[in-house]
Amino acid sequence: MQPLLLTFAAFCFFGAFNRWLLALGLAAGISYLGLRGWSLGRLPLVGPHDTIAFFAVSLAAMGLATRLSRPLRSAAWFNAAVGIMAGIFGGLALIFPVRSMPMPAILDTLWFELHVVLAFFAYALFGIGAIVSAGWLAVRDRSLMDIQFKTALAGWSFFSASMVAGGIWGYYAWGTYWLWTPKELWTSILWLFYALVLHLRLKGAKWDVLSAWLGVLGFVVTLFTYLGVSLLMKSSHSF
């Protein structure tokens, strides 16, 4: 199965200039996740390898979906950036060992799967938003800020739904919908951060520069929430 993930990473990274190669890479990535899920008998969402692979495939999928919007249809830079980003994370997933352990009973619930899947869709959209923000900073085309707003809003919506699912899961699993762990704190920080980004939009075009920089910074906060907390901080709530 690993060659499929390698194909995904390679097609995304080296074929980033071409949307069809990116689409082929995405097909390989989805096939990898599907086969891995089939072999495990569940969604592959536990451990660094599986979650980073899921994140990378989500990035490519959200990137291709965002590319359908009019201002990005002919933007080769966007295609390249999405492909490189997805390829890097696909490659990173390959570094971590593949663990095929049975699902701990505490994670064996639909609420956990919903929580994680929705969170990764949100992370991916925040990543796409960062690319679009960087693009706006380079070319200053206002239509890009509309797309940045849409990706932030859609990502924030997925993330909010993920938090709701996580709260329900936590209530049944731990007896509380909220635990004071670094992961949960950073999850709240990320949610509040994007609430800020969305509200900043109401200030109008004069604030686009700050909005764009926050769009880029948002992905740094996203990566810290996802990877930084798990790798650098002690938290019972990590991969």
Partner 1 sequence: MKRLWNLLISLEVGLVLLALVCIVMGAGSFGLSGDVATALNSMPLFVWLAEFSLATTWWLWLTIVLLALLALNTLCCSADTVFQRFSSNAILAWLPPQLIHAGFLLIVLAHLQSALWGFKGAIEIPEGAGFQLPDGAAVQVARVGAIFSPMGGDRPLGYKALLVTQETAGQGGVTISPNHPWFSNGYGVYIKHAEPGQPPVALLEVHREPGAAMAMAGAVLFTIGNLLLLHTRSRSREFMLESDEA
**Binding-site ranges for partner 1 (CB under 8 A):** 70, 102-106, 108-109, 111, 146, 150, 153-154, 157, 160-161, 164, 167-169, 171-182, 185-186, 188-189, 192-193, 195-196, 199-200, 202-203, 229, 233-234
Residue 114 C-beta: closest distance to partner 1, Å: 12
CA 11 to mean position of chain CA atoms: 19
Our CB check for partner 1 shows the closer of 80 and 150 to be 150
The smaller minimum CB distance to partner 1, of residues 76 and 196, is found at 196
Among residues 193 and 219, whose Cβ is nearest to partner 1? 193
In the complex, the smallest distance separating the C-beta of residue 25 from partner 1, rounded to whole angstroms, is: 27
Radius of gyration of the chain (CA): 18
**Minimum distance between the CB of residue 140 and partner 1, rounded to whole angstroms?**
17
Give least dist CB 88 to partner 1, A: 25
> Smallest Cα–Cα separation from 187: which of 152, 150, 145, 230?
230
Give CA–CA dist 228/222, Å, rounded.
Answer: 9
Which of 95, 234 has the CB closer to partner 1? 234
- Residues 115, 162: contact at Cβ < 8 Å? yes
- Residue 165 buriedness (CB in 10 A; 0-12 / 13-18 / 19+): buried
Query: CA 187 to CA 199: how far, in whole Å?
Result: 18
